């Protein structure tokens, strides 16, 4: 369920501030993997269920000492997009320095609450056209009952010409906490959009 904290930006193909059908379907696969626990174990996320999302699916395991958000598993779409394997790379090195701490704090909040996060982030391609990336982030557990990793699904409209070359990724324009039954944090997500 989306929180009420949002902005008025519109994702193509969706009513203002609403998630895509793919984002909702990804959360449903995550939900089906819970098996009555607060967050699903990583081993409970069956490949046959997640197959349609696998290309643009990643697992990040936050390092609470550094702080860092290193990728542990990365779908092939990310390799095609960046041109190299992101496994082991700190996600924060790919973000705008102005929002790195907030990005880290938001991921940790997803683990501690636990809850999810959904956001839409615009990007400018090298041909100067626009593109919206939709991120759906949900907590999982490596094996215990405590959330210690997140799964991320990135959705965007893929042109017939293949994956576009991105010149600049902007700050998010739409953001919502996803209440998975434990409430949502009180972190103000307005800073993602520079508010």
Note the pLDDT of residue 127: 67
What are 146-166's pLDDT values in tens digits?
999 999 999 977 655 566 665
Q: Which helix (H) or strand (E) holds 60?
A: strand 57-60
Instruction: Grade residue 15 by pLDDT with cuts at 50, 70 and 90.
Output: very low
Q: Could you say which of 3.30.450.20, 3.10.580.10, 1.10.10.60, 3.80.30.20 is the CATH number of the domain covering 21-184?
A: 3.30.450.20
Asked if 39 contacts 141 with a C-beta cutoff of 8 angstroms, the reply is yes
Asked if 173 contacts 74 with a C-beta cutoff of 8 angstroms, the reply is no
Asked if 19 contacts 118 with a C-beta cutoff of 8 angstroms, the reply is yes
Asked if 136 contacts 155 with a C-beta cutoff of 8 angstroms, the reply is yes
Q: Where are the domains of the chain?
A: 21-184
Which residues, other chains included, contact 91 with Cβ-Cβ below 8 Å and sequence gap of 6+?
A: 60, 69, 70, 71, 103
The yes-or-no verdict on residue 126 having pLDDT over 80 is no
The yes-or-no verdict on residue 189 having pLDDT over 90 is no
pTM equals: 0.84
Asked if 49 contacts 140 with a C-beta cutoff of 8 angstroms, the reply is no
The yes-or-no verdict on residue 4 having pLDDT over 70 is no
Give the pairing type, strands 71-74 and 57-60. antiparallel
What are 67-117's pLDDT values in tens digits?
999 999 999 988 887 778 999 999 988 887 888 888 899 999 999 999 999
Residue labelled with tokens 């609450």: 113
Note the pLDDT of residue 164: 60
């Amino acid at each position: 369920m989306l929180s009420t904290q949002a902005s008025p930006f519109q994702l193509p193909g969706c009513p203002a501030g609403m998630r895509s059908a793919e984002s909702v379907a990804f959360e449903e696969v995550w939900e089906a993997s819970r098996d009555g626990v607060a967050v699903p174990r990583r081993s409970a996320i069956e490949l046959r269920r997640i197959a349609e999302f696998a290309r643009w699916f990643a697992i990040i395991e936050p390092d609470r000492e550094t702080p860092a958000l290193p990728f542990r598993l990365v779908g092939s779409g990310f390799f095609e997009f960046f041109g190299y394997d992101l496994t082991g790379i700190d996600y924060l090195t790919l973000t705008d320095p102005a929002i790195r701490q907030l990005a880290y704090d938001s991921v940790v909040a997803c683990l501690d609450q636990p809850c999810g996060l959904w956001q839409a982030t615009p990007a400018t391609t090298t041909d100067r056209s626009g593109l919206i990336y939709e991120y759906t982030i949900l907590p999982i557990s490596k094996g215990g009952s405590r959330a210690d990793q997140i799964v991320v699904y990135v959705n965007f409209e893929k042109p017939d010409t293949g994956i576009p070359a991105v010149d600049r990724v902007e700050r998010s324009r739409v953001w919502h906490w996803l209440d998975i039954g434990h409430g949502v944090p009180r972190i103000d997500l307005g800073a993602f959009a520079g508010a």
